[in-house]
Amino acid sequence: IHWMFYVHLICVSILIAYIPFSKIMHMAGIFLSPTRNMRNDSRMRRHVNPWIKPAKLHTYEEWEKEFKDQLVEVGIPLEYAKEEGESS
């Protein structure tokens, strides 16, 4: 076997060993992309996550009552606690 074959074989082996650590590996994303076969109709249809939990919301008044002690300690003025205190 000719010496050029061995040079070629070594160069190809080095290239194959280098590919996983290089930007060439991003080329696989073209074929392995999860969005490649998806429809492009995100503006026409809205996808709602079926397993999403509804968020537990509370008003600012409830939040202020919950953190009243910390707010007073830091010196942040209260809106709703003052109204309750004034009416008592």
The predicted-structure confidence for 8-23, as pLDDT tens digits, reads as follows: 999 999 999 998 888 8
Give the chain's count of helices (H) and strands (E). 5, 0
Tokens 């509370």 belong to residue = 58
Contacts (Cβ under 8 Å, ≥6 apart) of 78: 64, 68, 71, 72
Asked if residue 85 has pLDDT above 70, the reply is no
Please state the domain extents for the chain. Answer: 1-34, 58-88
Asked if residue 84 has pLDDT above 70, the reply is no
Q: What's residue 14's pLDDT?
A: 95
- pTM equals 0.35
Note the pLDDT tens digit of each residue in 34-72: 777 777 777 788 878 788 888 889 899 999 999 999 999
The CA distance from 17 to 3, in Å, is 21
